[in-house]
Structures are given as C-alpha cells and as structure tokens.
C-alpha cells in the first residue's frame, strides 16, 4: 500500500468501537424522537400501520423525491403480488424556483399519464421530511438533497399538489378524476411493500440520492400518546428521518467538514456521509486534499476539469470507477478524459479507485450501523427475525455495496445475531408501496 493509500484508509475507515458508539447514540436519538423530545432523528408518525397483505385495488403512485419524478399505475392483488400496468418518468429541469415551478410540471405530467375515465386514487410519495397531520396531509419541515424551491417549507404539500392539479385540470381533463388518498415517505412505502410480501419486514431503507429509514414500531415502545393508526392500532410506521443523525460528527474527517460547509442543505450529517447526492463530492474533496498536500493528482483540479467544480463528480462516476477491474484501469482512464483529465499515470487511477472504494465502504458500514441500531432498539435481544426492505440506486448499483452492508452488520451484531436481520433489495418498492399505503388508507 502506498503512503497516500494508507493516509486515506486511516482517515476514512471508522473503527468498530466508533461504530458501536454510534449504534448506542442512534438508539438514544430514536428514543428521544419517539418521546417528542429534541432529537436529530425526528421519528415522524405516518398514521398507518403495516398492510395486512390482503389489500387490492388500482392506484396511481406519484414518486417525488429527486430530479427523477415517476408515475406508476399499480394493482395489488391481495395475494402477495401487484401488477404494474404503466410506469413513466420525467426529469425536473431545476431543483430550485418557486412552488409552482415544482408542482405545475408534476401535475402536467400526471395528466399525460392517466386516462380521463373512471376515478383515480393517488398515493403521493414525497421523499422529504414531512410532519404529517393525517395520512393525507403534512407539512414540509425543510428541503434536503440540495432541493431549494421557495414557498414549500412549512406548507401542506398535498394542498400544493392539489392546487396545481386543479389549476391544470382544464387543459388536462384526466386530472379531474384524481384524488389524493395518502401521503407517505419513500422509506414508509418501501417498508409497506416489503411487509405486504413478508410479514417479518419491519424496516424500510432508501440508499439513493438521499438516505433514510422507516420502522414499524409497536405502541409498547412509545412513551407519548399518538394519534390513532389506520390499519393495526397496535403499531405505527415511522418515517425516521435518520439521514439527519448528527452523532456522526464523532467521525467527521476534514472532507466531511468541508462538504457540510459547501452544502445548501441544513443538517443531514449522516446522509452527507452515505447518499448518492454526496459521495461523488467526497471523492472530489479527497482528490483536492491529496493534491493540496502535494501527494498526488497534481493539476487535477485546474479549471475545465470536473474535479475543479463543486459536485462535479457523481455517484455514477464512483460506480463506474469501482466497476473497472482491468489491471491498468483503462476504463477509468477513459472516464477521466471525459472529466477533463487528459493524462494520468496508472498509480493515480489506482489511488482514485481506492478513494472511491473507501468512501463507498464507509457509506455501507454506516448504513449497517443504522440498521443494527434500529433493529436493536425494537428487539434488544434480536430474538425474532427482521427483514429490511431496501430500494435505491446506490444500494443496487454500486459494486460490492450490499456485501459491505452485510459485513458491517456481522461486525456490529456478531455472526448469529446478524443472521436474524435480513436485508433485501426490492426493485421499485417505493412506487409500488405507495399503492399499498393508499390501499391501507382507503381502509
């Protein structure tokens, strides 16, 4: 291992002891969140329980949680399966502007996807921190993932969507057939789909542009009175908003500190070490760091290179770099030319791949920390089996990521206890789960 590799490894690899301390703090924050005390893990109630598995119907799911907005038509059959009869997506051209710049194009798009016959019940997945007032209303607490539309924070996002739908319904009569049945976070809908398929599922996890978890918490574990739940009255699905967990400051490196100061999104310290929106930037900052020490990457951050631009490197670049197994890293060289680095030596390509791997592995071990802490909070002895339903491009697409999460769980829980926590990727879970939540809400 070269000196630079050793330096990066020491900086970016938290020890097992540090992770164990984070597990403890994370549990304390869940407890405080549930008790309604100040906590960096908010634990927002969703007003629904897990589905029974018998839910049926036909629903429109709107997934709004990043630049890629999706509309899916889903028909759960009540027997462990759901048909996706249509799925369309479009990319938002901006992540800032005012509320209408966000909701008007979304309403237009839904109008293009649904037919003007019958009636349509909508499950609205809005993947940002929302304080629910009922299963079909809730106020946005703050934007995350560098979104910055004005006039939305503090507002009921269902009302904003409905206003846009009404204002567009003359141009697009199909919109007149639409009514919002439920609002949910993507982690909650992922959990719901997981539980529809397997009743052992009690956690939902998203590792994509953002990171967050949901948990099905039994009422015995909650100190304060909660509003009634639709479905099973003995439990509530909570959107944890654990991407905001601030205990990770314990293991912040200079790269994390710099990233936090650059970001336009408040808090979200755990998310900034885990999710796809930020990992590329951490890799870029590692390059900047080594270049400024005179260790490697000389000239890489000059103007015209993606390494000289904030957020110029993305999680997709990381996946491509880690994917390249060729001895001379020819693919990495080709990618680097596209990113504005005309010439580089093999050792630099290796060091870059090494930085990508260390940053992705740290992300995966922190995901394992969150899962371990949540599972231990709900079942301290891990006497039962728990299934974690996961959706998200980073979890699915980053080479070696899932293995590293499992290794992290074994490291924290031990061999036999970690076998009782099953982490499973479910494609499109967040969208399909929206239909399940809408069905639970429809009673």
Residues that bind ligand BGC (CB under 6 A): 65, 127-129, 144-145, 185-187, 206, 208, 210, 212, 241, 243, 271
Helix/strand/coil for 188: helix
Select from 17, 18, 29 the least CA-distant residue to 373: 29
Cβ at position 63, least distance to ligand BGC in Å: 10
Residue 33: half-sphere exposure toward Cβ, Cα within 13 Å: 26
Instruction: Give the residue with the Cβ less far from ligand BGC, 185 or 354.
Output: 185
Instruction: Give the residue with the Cβ less far from ligand BGC, 191 or 336.
Output: 191
Instruction: Give the residue with the Cβ less far from ligand BGC, 230 or 429.
Output: 429
- CA gap 207, 362 in Å, rounded: 13
Cβ at position 148, least distance to ligand BGC in Å: 13
Instruction: Give the residue with the Cβ less far from ligand BGC, 160 or 290.
Output: 160
Residue 211: half-sphere exposure toward Cβ, Cα within 13 Å: 29
Helix/strand/coil for 244: helix
Cβ at position 144, least distance to ligand BGC in Å: 3
Instruction: Give the residue with the Cβ less far from ligand BGC, 165 or 206.
Output: 206
Instruction: Give the residue with the Cβ less far from ligand BGC, 130 or 440.
Output: 130
Specify whether the CB–CB gap between 164 and 156 falls below 8 A: no
Residue nearest to ligand BGC (CB): 210
- CA gap 395, 276 in Å, rounded: 9
Largest CA distance in the chain: 67
**Lookup result for tokens 């599922």:** 201
Cβ at position 17, least distance to ligand BGC in Å: 28
Structure tokens of 294? 């005179």
Question: CB within 8 A of 278, min separation 6: which ones?
Answer: 259, 263, 271, 272
Cβ at position 130, least distance to ligand BGC in Å: 7
- CA gap 370, 55 in Å, rounded: 30
Cβ at position 406, least distance to ligand BGC in Å: 21
**Lookup result for tokens 């060091």:** 351
Instruction: Give the residue with the Cβ less far from ligand BGC, 52 or 131.
Output: 131
Cβ at position 429, least distance to ligand BGC in Å: 12
């Amino acid at each position: 291992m070269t000196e630079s590799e050793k330096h990066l490894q020491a900086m970016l690899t938290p020890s097992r002891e540090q992770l164990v301390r984070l597990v403890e703090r994370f549990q304390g924050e869940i407890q405080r969140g549930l008790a309604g005390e100040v906590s960096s893990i908010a634990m927002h109630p969703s007003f629904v329980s897990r589905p029974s598995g018998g839910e049926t119907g036909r629903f429109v799911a709107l997934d709004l949680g990043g630049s890629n907005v999706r509309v899916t038509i889903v028909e759960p059959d009540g027997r462990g399966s759901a048909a996706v009869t249509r799925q369309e997506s479009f990319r938002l051209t901006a992540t800032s502007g005012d509320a209408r710049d966000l909701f008007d194009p979304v309403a237009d798009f839904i109008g293009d996807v649904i037919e003007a016959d019958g009636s349509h019940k909508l499950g609205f997945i809005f993947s940002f921190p929302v304080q629910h007032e009922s299963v079909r209303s809730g106020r946005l607490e703050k934007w995350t993932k560098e979104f910055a539309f004005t006039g939305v924070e503090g507002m009921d996002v269902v009302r904003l969507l409905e206003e846009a739908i009404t204002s567009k319904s003359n141009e697009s009569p199909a919109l007149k057939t639409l009514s919002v049945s439920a609002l949910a976070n993507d982690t909650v809908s992922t959990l719901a789909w997981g539980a529809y398929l397997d009743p052992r599922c009690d956690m939902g996890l998203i590792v994509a542009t953002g990171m967050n978890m949901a948990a099905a918490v039994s009422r015995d574990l909650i100190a304060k009175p909660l509003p009634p739940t639709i479905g099973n009255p003995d439990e509530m699905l909570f959107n944890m908003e654990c991407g905001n967990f601030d205990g990770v400051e314990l293991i912040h490196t200079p790269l994390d500190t710099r990233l936090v100061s650059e970001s336009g999104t408040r808090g979200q310290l755990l998310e900034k070490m885990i999710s796809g929106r930020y990992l590329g930037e951490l890799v870029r900052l590692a390059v900047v760091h080594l270049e400024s020490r005179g260790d490697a990457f000389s000239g890489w951050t000059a103007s015209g290179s993606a390494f000289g631009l904030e957020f110029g490197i993305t999680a997709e670049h990381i996946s491509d770099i880690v994917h390249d197994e060729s001895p001379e890293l020819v693919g990495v060289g080709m990618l680097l030319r596209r990113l504005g680095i005309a010439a580089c030596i093999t050792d630099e390509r290796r060091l870059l791949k090494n930085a990508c791997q260390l940053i992705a592995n740290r992300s995966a071990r922190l995901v394992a920390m969150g899962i371990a802490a949540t599972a231990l909070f709900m079942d301290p002895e891990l006497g039962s089996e728990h299934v974690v339903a996961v959706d998200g491009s980073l979890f699915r697409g980053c080479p070696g990521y899932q293995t590293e999460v499992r290794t992290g769980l074994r490291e924290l829980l031990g061999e036999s206890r970690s076998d009782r926590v099953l982490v499973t990727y479910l494609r499109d879970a967040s969208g399909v789960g929206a239909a399940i939540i809408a069905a639970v809400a429809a009673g």
